[in-house]
């Protein structure tokens, strides 16, 4: 059963700046910059350079993050160096954000 993982990261300064592309391609690699608020029924935007995803193992989450970084490097035609990161599993969280998205009814 998949578990939720959170990764927060810093990257070395790169031109062009890779942050926008990291967010653009995150979904393709199982990561999102939004987290679902169970009690509020809204999506909350996570702080910059923080992503959340569901993976079977921590190793799978790390591989997905590495694949995301590699895809962005290829997209911007420059290597991206992750200078530090924290990747952890969580079962309970508390969060707030200045950007909340209420899902539309389809």
Closest CA to 88 of 6, 4, 1, 3: 6
Taking the domains of the chain in order of start, what are their residue ranges? 3-93
Reported confidence tier of residue 98, pLDDT bands at 50, 70, 90: confident
| Domain 3-93 top-level CATH class | alpha beta
Reported confidence tier of residue 97, pLDDT bands at 50, 70, 90: confident
- Full-model pTM: 0.86
> What is the rounded average pLDDT of the residues 8-26?
93
How far apart are the C-alpha atoms of 52 and 95, rounded to whole Å? 13
Closest CA to 23 of 52, 61, 44: 52
Which pLDDT belongs to residue 93? 67
Would the pLDDT of 78 be above 80? yes
């Amino acid at each position: 059963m998949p578990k939720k993982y959170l990764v927060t990261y810093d990257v070395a300064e790169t031109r062009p700046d890779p942050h926008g592309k990291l967010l653009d391609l995150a979904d393709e690699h199982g990561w999102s910059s939004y987290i679902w608020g169970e009690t509020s029924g809204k999506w909350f935007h996570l702080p910059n350079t923080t992503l959340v995803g569901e993976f079977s193992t921590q190793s799978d989450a790390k591989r997905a993050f590495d694949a995301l970084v590699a895809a962005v490097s290829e997209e911007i035609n420059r290597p991206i160096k992750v200078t530090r990161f924290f990747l952890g599993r969580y079962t309970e969280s508390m969060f707030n954000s200045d950007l909340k998205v209420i899902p539309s009814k389809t």
